[in-house]
């Protein structure tokens, strides 16, 4: 699953409209229409790059006369002072698109950088790092791409992609007194045979009733390390085991060492700081 040009335009176009709904008053008033500029996208810190295609789209959608040369591909580890892309074109357009291009690329690179830290922390274990739906509304496609650029994996993209029953769902489907296994089995008969089913549990004693229903993945939510180990042993090879809740850079290695298959981390998208990138501009001679 890769970020498409259509997905990029669907985000960048409205962002440009929001930032300059009736044009860029400053640039259009003070910058000559004939002026041209060259600008370098430069990293101010070390990190993982993500979003250069989004950066390029901000300029292309502002003025097709802008040319963006990408020097470094997404997913690359960049260092302080690295030039990752160069923009050439009408100075008005370069100045108008600058903030939107930077904002989105900084956001994506920050997510990729944080994701890589988690991925590096569990290196050598079987666990894969995955994101969650705790994304910025409207930016999910970009943020999910940034997780992939950082070496992580995507969970279900939306509520339409797969079944995930959490504690509130389980409370509703068993409210009539139906046992958990039977309630799950009965509902699963209404699904297409290709649908992946995941169920979240928050106690060890819920594991067997859930597995008996034949689910594909079981999520152990906010389990202690000892209970995670017990859960992994109970599940065996009957389902994929996912751990979630209370995951941090300090705790993720120990969680991975319990033997879980997946660790989902909401912080990848809801707590990642933007990576400091800057646009260094030079006015071209007439």
* Residues involved in catalysis: 99, 134, 166, 200, 221
* 244 DSSP β-pair partners: 221
Tell me how far CA of residue 276 lies from CA of 189, 205, 206, 208, 270, in angstroms: 50, 47, 45, 48, 17
CA distance 218 to 215: 7
| 3-class state of residue 99 by DSSP | helix
Could you tell me the two tokens for 223? 């389990």
| 3-class state of residue 162 by DSSP | coil
Name every residue whose Cβ is closer than 8 Å to that of residue 222 and which is 6 or more positions away in sequence: 202, 244, 245, 246
| 3-class state of residue 221 by DSSP | strand
CA distance 19 to 35: 22
Name every residue whose Cβ is closer than 8 Å to that of residue 247 and which is 6 or more positions away in sequence: 255, 263, 264, 265, 266, 267
| Angle, in degrees to the nearest 10, between helices 91-121 and 52-62 | 160
Q: Are 241 and 261 in contact (CB under 8 A)?
A: yes
CA distance 240 to 246: 20
Q: Are 19 and 100 in contact (CB under 8 A)?
A: yes
CA distance 124 to 101: 36
């Amino acid at each position: 699953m890769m970020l498409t040009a259509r997905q990029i335009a669907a985000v960048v176009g409205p962002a440009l409209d929001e930032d300059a709904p009736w044009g860029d008053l400053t640039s259009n008033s003070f910058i000559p229409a004939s002026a041209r500029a060259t600008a370098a996208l430069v990293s101010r810190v070390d990190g993982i790059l993500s979003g250069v295609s989004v950066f390029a789209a901000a300029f292309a959608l502002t003025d097709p006369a802008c040319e963006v040369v990408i020097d470094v591909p997404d997913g690359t580890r960049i260092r302080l002072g690295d030039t990752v892309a160069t923009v050439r074109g009408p100075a008005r357009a370069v100045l108008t698109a600058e903030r939107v291009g930077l904002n989105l690329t900084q956001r994506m690179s920050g997510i990729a950088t944080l994701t890589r830290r988690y991925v590096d922390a569990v290196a050598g274990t079987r666990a894969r790092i995955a994101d969650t739906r705790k994304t910025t509304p409207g930016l999910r496609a970009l943020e999910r791409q940034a997780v992939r650029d950082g070496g992580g994996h995507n969970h279900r993209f939306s509520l339409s992609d797969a079944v995930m029953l959490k504690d509130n769902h389980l409370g509703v489907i068993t409210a009539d007194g139906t046992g958990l296994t039977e309630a799950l089995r009965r509902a699963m008969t209404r699904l297409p045979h290709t649908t992946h089913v995941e169920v979240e549990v928050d106690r060890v004693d819920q594991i067997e009733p859930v597995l008996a229903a034949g689910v594909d993945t079981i999520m152990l939510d906010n389990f202690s390390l000892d209970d995670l180990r017990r859960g992994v042993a109970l599940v065996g090879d009957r389902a994929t085991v996912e751990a979630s809740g209370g995951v941090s850079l300090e705790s993720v290695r120990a969680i991975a060492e319990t033997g879980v298959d997946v660790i989902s981390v909401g912080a990848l998208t809801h707590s990642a700081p933007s990576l400091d990138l800057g646009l260094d501009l030079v006015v071209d001679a007439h």
